[in-house]
Amino acid sequence: EVFGKSANLIFANENGFSVNGAAFLNTKGVTLSTGKFNGDFTEVTSNGRVAIGEKG
């Protein structure tokens, strides 16, 4: 949950994510990235995976 003004959230993990039943409150947007964040997303890995379950 974002307190105060709504914001965009970025989650970056070079190993990937598994999400099922996630909720993001007071956000403008959410990005899940299988990369290593270095400030401009120029390092992207193909090893990670984003898996979104049936509950989102």
Q: Establish if 1 belongs to a structural domain.
A: no
Pairing between β-strand 50-52 and β-strand 27-33 as defined by DSSP bridges: unpaired
Res 52: pLDDT: 85
Q: Establish if 33 belongs to a structural domain.
A: yes
Residue 37's domain spans which residues? 7-52
Per-run averaged pLDDT (10 residues), the chain, 56 residues: 92 87 92 75 68 86
C-alpha separations of 56 from 5, 17, 25, 39, 52 in Å: 24, 12, 14, 27, 6
Q: How many structural domains compose the chain? A: 1
Q: Establish if 36 belongs to a structural domain.
A: yes
Q: Establish if 35 belongs to a structural domain.
A: yes
Q: Establish if 2 belongs to a structural domain.
A: no
